A and B are shown apart, each in its own frame.
Chain A
Amino acid sequence: MIYFTDGTKEGFLTAFLCAYNDEDALLSSVQTQLALGQATVFVAADPQKAAKAEARLLSYDKDCMQDLFYLLRSGMSDREQIAFRYFKLLADRKRPVRGMLAEDGVIAACECIRKVTYEIHRMHGFVRFMESASGALYAPISPDNDIADLLVPHFRARLPEFPFVLHDVVRKKAAVYDGTNVFTAPLQSAEIVLSADEKKWQALWQRYYASVNLPQRERLKQMRGYMPVRYWKHMPEFDRQEPFPMETPV
């Protein structure tokens, strides 16, 4: 049986209860092409059932909801199934399974969580703000995982005096810090009026980027490993018509 959920935590926990005794259960929040004859059920989130499941799981592992939180933020289409296998193992063993690193279900969950937390760390570095005429900062992002709002605490802590918008242009939503409050809101597209100097600072950054490189030591494979090409599109250092000129050493 395939159990479709709405992608929320309550939806997952409700489906978890329904599917727990089903040997061939498959959980998903993504509409997929179904093989002929596969039985499906849409599980509506039920707060009572979800609370029951949560209490039970927490009694086995008090930190497990943190795992679920990150798993459901994953951009992988089989995230619910990965979470299901992990929590089924937890429910079977009735004690924390996080350290059972030789178990397939734990390996998959750990890798999935690591992808999310690693992308959060990466984005702390890769986000590029542009300054608008009002002084507010705006950064378009297109992360693999649904993490826009999870980036806010980091930037709020270091730029408390600057309102900013982190715009997930793929999921069409924005995480906003208005100088006092933090909230998320749907956002299709944004028209930004740039500050007078914004383009000049971007040009200086491009110049810096080109100058600090050691062209004689080119190692593009390593570069792309650390900073995959999919992250480049919102970075001004790559916003150039022609490839980087080879700077001649002074």
Chain B
Amino acid sequence: MIDERRLRILTEGAKFDVSCSSSGSKRKNSGGMGNGYPSGCCHSFTPDGRCISLLKILLSNNCIYNCKYCPNRLDADVPRVSASPEEIAELTLDFYKRNYIEGLFLSSAVDGSPNDTMERLVRTVKLLRTQHRFHGYIHLKGIPRADEALVREAAKYADRMSYNIELPSERSLKLLAPQKSKESLLLPMRQLCEERRVFREEKRKGLFLPAGQTTQMIVGASPEKDGQIVRLTQSLYRNLGLKRVYFSAYVPVVHDRLLPDRPAGQLHEHRLYQADWLLRFYGFTAEELAPEDEDLPLDLDPKCAWALRNMQLFPVEVNRAPLEMLLRVPGIGGRSAQKILEARRYTKLTFEHLKKMRVVLKRARHFITAGGKFYGANSDTAVRNLLTAGEAGENAVQLSFFSDAETALSALTGEL
């Protein structure tokens, strides 16, 4: 049984990885313990409001790399510990059995060579899958510059893998994580994408990364604009078939002349996630959301901002508008849009109906009519003012959560 001290250090080294999702895998139980839960399952929530789905832990925090932003970088004066594959397997099984977790999110500092590290990660996962017949969710972090064969082997056992692209441009990566290169990160991502495609096309037996790949990048540590970040995100979805792209607002823990002294706002991060959602579920393209050399506005969510730039398309009639258009109405999300679609088959919807159906009208009322009636403000300027005023109120609360100087570390990421 692993001791509390190492569990703590290895967990604190891993917790900056944002992903906790356990969705996307339908892995069956064929004896032994565990199975997949396609929609994902949250087992607990920590006081920071994040969910615990997976046991997020490092195999080792002893790193040969010296990425500027990382708490485990070579230069950092922190206690160095590691766990054995057996210890991690035992911990995973005993937590899983008690229903504490949905599976394992295993990562590691680059301890020794990339191949050594990757080999230990794969050994741990393989131990769980074969010897212990564990079928619960496993998210495995890939180590850049490890052999192709090891990457392939890992994908046979993991449900999801991720390589963090760390920063939104090659130039920033070179500057802040000099031992990693764009190619060292994209090469294995391409390999996995391609092999997964072939695996599925040939309908081969078994599983090959059923939950696909994700990645993560730090925003606000380097000068890239949101327009560029959103375009990069879109191309990662389109070209590498990623399931998720995570963002992490930069917070300085390390003083370095190459890094900004001030934390990037959590609100900025939030806007990027909103944009990400619009790309994935609302049919928007990156080009619609922000020009390449501009940031997303902070005082408005990206859908509102888009709608205000395209007022000629509104208001739309909720009783007739197609789903694609309903989804573009500020304040109407996927669930509301589906409800409207269903309900209007039986009756002509009024604002009263929408209210009863719990469609949030605070923003939407400026962009829709219901049965020909319109309850929005009567000029574009008035709409803009009302929407930004509402947002300012929300932001004031948001900022008070995050803006204090103590936010140190909180959004830092870039663990391998």
Contacts and interface: CB of A to CB of B under 8 A. Distances in A.
B102 A125 contact: yes
A20 interface: no
Given A126-B43, A205-B95, A212-B46, A219 B11 contact: no
Interface string A218-236: 1111110011000000010
Contact of A157 (B29, B39, B91, B401): B29
Nearest to A218: B47
Interface stretch (A21-29, A55-63, A78-86, A101-109): A101-109
Contact of B7 (A102, A155, A208): A208
A203 B94 CA distance: 12
Give the size range of A's interface with the partner: 35 or more
B91 A250 contact: no
A170 B273 CA distance: 41
Contacts of B4: 203-204, 207
Contact of A209 (B46, B136, B402): B46
B136 A158 contact: yes
Interface string B73-102: 000001100000000000100110111101
A211 B11 contact: yes
B52 interface: yes
A210 B407 CA distance: 17
A99 interface: yes
Interface in A83-130: 99-104, 107, 121, 124-130
Q: Which of B12, B46, B401, B411 lies at the interface centre, i.e. has the most chain A CB atoms within 10 A of its CB?
A: B46
A100 B100 contact: no
Nearest to B46: A213
A250 B9 contact: yes
Nearest to B135: A158
A161 interface: yes
Give the size range of B's interface with the partner: 35 or more
B47 A250 contact: no
Contacts of A201: 1, 94-95, 98
A137 B47 contact: no
Contact of A226 (B33, B45, B410, B411): B45
B44 A217 contact: no
A204 B1 contact: yes
A213 B44 contact: no
18 contacts: A99-B342, A102-B349, A102-B356, A103-B346, A104-B356, A125-B102, A137-B98, A158-B34, A159-B34, A205-B98, A207-B7, A208-B95, A211-B7, A213-B48, A213-B50, A214-B410, A222-B45, A247-B12
Given A214-B409, A216-B408, 9 more contacts: A103-B347, A129-B97, A130-B98, A131-B98, A158-B34, A204-B91, A217-B49, A218-B47, A223-B49
Q: Which 9 A-B pairs have the closest CB atoms?
A: A222-B49, A219-B49, A101-B343, A211-B11, A213-B46, A102-B353, A216-B410, A217-B48, A214-B48
Interface of A: 99-104, 107, 121, 124-131, 137, 139, 155, 157-162, 197, 200-201, 203-205, 207-223, 226-227, 235, 237, 244, 247, 249-250
